[in-house]
């Protein structure tokens, strides 16, 4: 079975700020996060570096053939590092560039990223709502960005604010740029009212929904995340299994579970068909992102087996 992770993060150094508060690497996998010390990484990642090599080791162990690396303001802009990752591991990673959407003129940076080889851009839309300012996804410069991506054949990876707050803006983008391929992140936040409005955006031709962070959303019930499985089934009823993709939100989610557990609950569920699992865990992403030759990753037995 092809397994592709459509929502992950990488960084060499987490040094950022959002909404006037800092995010800064500490030690033993911890970070200062918006005024609170949090376990950002597993404690064995003591240097705070969330590298491609560590992720590849996790991917090989969990038999995940490829991954999409998105970006988030809370990690800092990682374009330089991700460009290097894409050069060194072209068969394993599709990386998303990101601009500073709070600064006028980001369209020029987007053109530079496109010219340098980035095939996708990430927009953490839920972070565009600050206490003192809101950046609209449909602002003139944002719409120019959408047209640029559509013309260049790039993919938009976007996470939206809770519920349907930004759904109207996305509908306008989809109508204006019907050829733009869009992946809606975090599965629409299924623990929040209004999440189905986000999922139903995938009724449009080039729009998909990925499940990055779904185990975090259902962390209270823990493995095997039956609530998450129910959300996946509901989404299948709304848009069809061919519109949904698995994402882990690595590395933050593996502070609570192993990387393999972030998809194993789907694989072991008796509430989804084999075909639904195949589509969700990899086949849909294979076509949508255009991955090429994938590695063969045989299962290696644990010492405990």
pTM (global) more than 0.75? yes
3-state SS, 148-167, equals HHHHHCCEEEEECCCCCCCH
Under a CB-based contact definition with an 8 Å cutoff, are residues 60 and 297 in contact?
Answer: yes
Angle subtended at Cα 246 by Cα 304 and Cα 268, rounded to the nearest 5 degrees: 45
Residue 181: its H or E element: strand 181-184
Residue 290, classed as helix, strand or coil, is coil
Structure tokens at 66: 């490829």
Write out the chain's pLDDT in tens, 305 residues.
Answer: 999 999 999 999 888 999 999 999 999 999 999 999 999 999 999 999 999 999 999 999 999 999 999 999 999 999 999 999 999 999 999 999 999 999 999 999 999 999 999 999 999 999 999 988 999 999 999 999 999 999 999 999 999 999 999 999 999 999 999 999 999 999 999 999 999 999 999 999 999 999 999 999 999 999 999 999 999 999 999 999 999 999 999 999 999 999 999 999 999 999 999 999 999 999 999 999 999 899 999 999 999 98
Maximal CA-CA distance, the chain: 57
Which H helix or E strand runs over 225? Answer: none
């Amino acid at each position: 079975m092809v397994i592709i992770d459509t929502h992950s993060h990488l960084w060499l150094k987490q040094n950022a700020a959002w909404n006037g508060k800092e995010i800064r690497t500490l030690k033993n996998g911890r970070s200062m996060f918006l005024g609170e010390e949090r376990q950002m990484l597993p404690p064995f990642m003591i240097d705070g570096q969330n590298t491609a090599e560590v992720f590849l080791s996790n991917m090989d162990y969990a038999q995940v053939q490829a991954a999409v690396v998105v970006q988030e303001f809370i990690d800092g802009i990682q374009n330089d590092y991700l460009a290097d990752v894409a050069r060194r591991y072209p068969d394993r990673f599709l990386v998303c560039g990101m601009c500073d959407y709070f600064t006028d003129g980001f369209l020029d940076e987007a053109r530079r990223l496109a010219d340098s080889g980035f095939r996708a851009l990430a927009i953490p839309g839920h972070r565009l709502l600050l206490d003192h300012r809101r950046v609209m996804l449909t602002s003139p410069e944002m719409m120019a960005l959408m047209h640029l991506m559509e013309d260049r054949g790039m993919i938009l990876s976007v996470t939206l604010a809770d519920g349907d707050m930004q759904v109207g803006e996305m509908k306008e983008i989809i109508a204006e740029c019907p050829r733009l391929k869009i992946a809606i992140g975090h599965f629409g936040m299924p623990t929040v009212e209004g999440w189905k409005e986000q999922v139903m955006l995938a009724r449009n031709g080039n729009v998909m929904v990925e499940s990055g962070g779904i185990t975090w959303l259902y962390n209270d019930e823990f493995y095997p995340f039956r609530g998450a499985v129910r959300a996946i089934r509901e989404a299948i009823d709304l848009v069809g299994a061919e519109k949904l993709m698995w994402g882990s939100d690595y590395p933050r989610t593996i502070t609570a579970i192993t990387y393999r557990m972030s998809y194993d609950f789907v694989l072991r569920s008796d509430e989804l068909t084999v075909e639904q699992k195949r589509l969700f865990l990899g086949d849909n992403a294979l076509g949508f992102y255009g991955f090429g030759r994938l590695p063969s990753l045989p299962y290696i037995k644990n010492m405990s087996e």
